[in-house]
Amino acid sequence: MARIDDSQPRGRMGKPYFLIVRRRTMKRLTVGPLCVCFLVLAVSFAPARADYYQGKDLILVNPTTPLHKKSKDAIFSLRKAKVGEHGKLGIFPQKYMPASSIYGQVDEKADWVHDTQFFVNNPYLLAVITSGDKVNAFLPYCQVSSVEYSHGKITEMYRRQSAEKWFYLAFDYYGEFQGVIRLWFVNAYDAGFKYTYVDSSQSINIDMSYPSSGSSFLKSIYSGRELYHVGHLKKNNISPYDVRATIRLREKNSRTVFYVKLWKNRPAAMSVKEDFAYVIKLEP
């Protein structure tokens, strides 16, 4: 019969301390790698928002800058300088270069359609609103001097007189469209956000019956094609028109919200959390 060595120090249950310490050590060794593993998984599946600046910033709306007959290098330098002004936000790549799919067909010897130049000089306006098939952005005519960035979201706000002017453009100035607006995503595409969806559950004053297309960005994940080229006006312009990226407003001078979800890779469903949000609000 084996004898118990009474010289070994013992715990409360009569077990030698070296056995207790050994078991505790083994538990630590086992739990340690598991914690590291779960940490790696948590980081791997963390939302893309975590990569963006976790704070607030005011982004000034830049005036239209003439681009007539400028070289692509000059246009690219201007564009990169404007992106760099808010580089800390992490919206554009660190080594940003204007996408060739968007800027590749720019004609250096041609003039530009006046309002189209506004898009180029304002890279952080990821969703630009115009009327119907027009390219004239509403924003520079509505006395809105800035948009606000906050924790992975940009908000474009129109209040009182600026909102009234916005609705005037949507319903009256471009009367033939009667509240039908177009959202252009050329800047979002250039930043790498290739997919979008206007979330009706977080939006207000949208007529969901228009357009009838099931592939509308109100009813499905949308990815369009937008670029600058010389069009029928013989000037550099933005194209093409796409009815799938249009919205019809239900009422004039009513509180309105467009909640635009943006993703860099195609999400599995519209309900997937966006990589970035661009929100447009009107409070007449």
Chain-centroid distance, C-alpha 218: 16
Mean pLDDT of all residues in the chain?
A: 88
Query: Mind listing the pLDDT tens digit for each residue in 120-137?
Result: 999 999 999 999 999 999
Task: State residue 51's pLDDT score.
Answer: 86
Task: State residue 22's pLDDT score.
Answer: 47
- The number of CA neighbours under 13 Å toward the Cβ of 168 is 11
CA distance 242 to 97: 26
Residue 30 CB neighbour total at 10 angstroms: 9
Residue in the block written with tokens 């799919």 = 101
Residue ranges for the chain with pLDDT beneath 50: 1-9, 11-13, 15, 17-22, 25-48
pTM of the model: 0.83
Contact 189, 125 (CB under 8 A): no
173 DSSP 8-state letter? I
Task: State residue 105's pLDDT score.
Answer: 97
Contact 193, 123 (CB under 8 A): no
218-225 long-range contacts (CB < 8 A, ≥24 apart) are: 218/247, 220/270, 221/195, 221/196, 221/197, 221/263, 221/266, 221/267, 221/270, 222/195, 222/196, 222/197, 223/194, 223/195, 223/196, 223/266, 224/185, 224/189, 225/101
Task: State residue 45's pLDDT score.
Answer: 39
First CA to last CA distance, the chain: 94
Task: State residue 33's pLDDT score.
Answer: 47
Task: State residue 20's pLDDT score.
Answer: 45
Task: State residue 29's pLDDT score.
Answer: 39
Show the tokens assigned to 28.
Answer: 């630590």
Query: Mind listing the pLDDT tens digit for each residue in 26-37?
Result: 444 344 444 444
Query: Mind listing the pLDDT tens digit for each residue in 61-112?
Result: 999 999 999 999 999 999 999 999 999 999 999 999 999 999 999 999 999 9
Query: What are the structural domain ranges in the chain?
Result: 1-46, 48-283
Helices (H) and strands (E) in the chain — how many of each?
6, 11
Q: Which amino acid is at 168?
A: Y
Q: Which of 42, 46, 184 is nearest to 123 (CA)?
A: 184
Task: State residue 14's pLDDT score.
Answer: 52
How, if at all, do strands 236-239 and 146-150 pair? Answer: unpaired
Task: State residue 21's pLDDT score.
Answer: 42
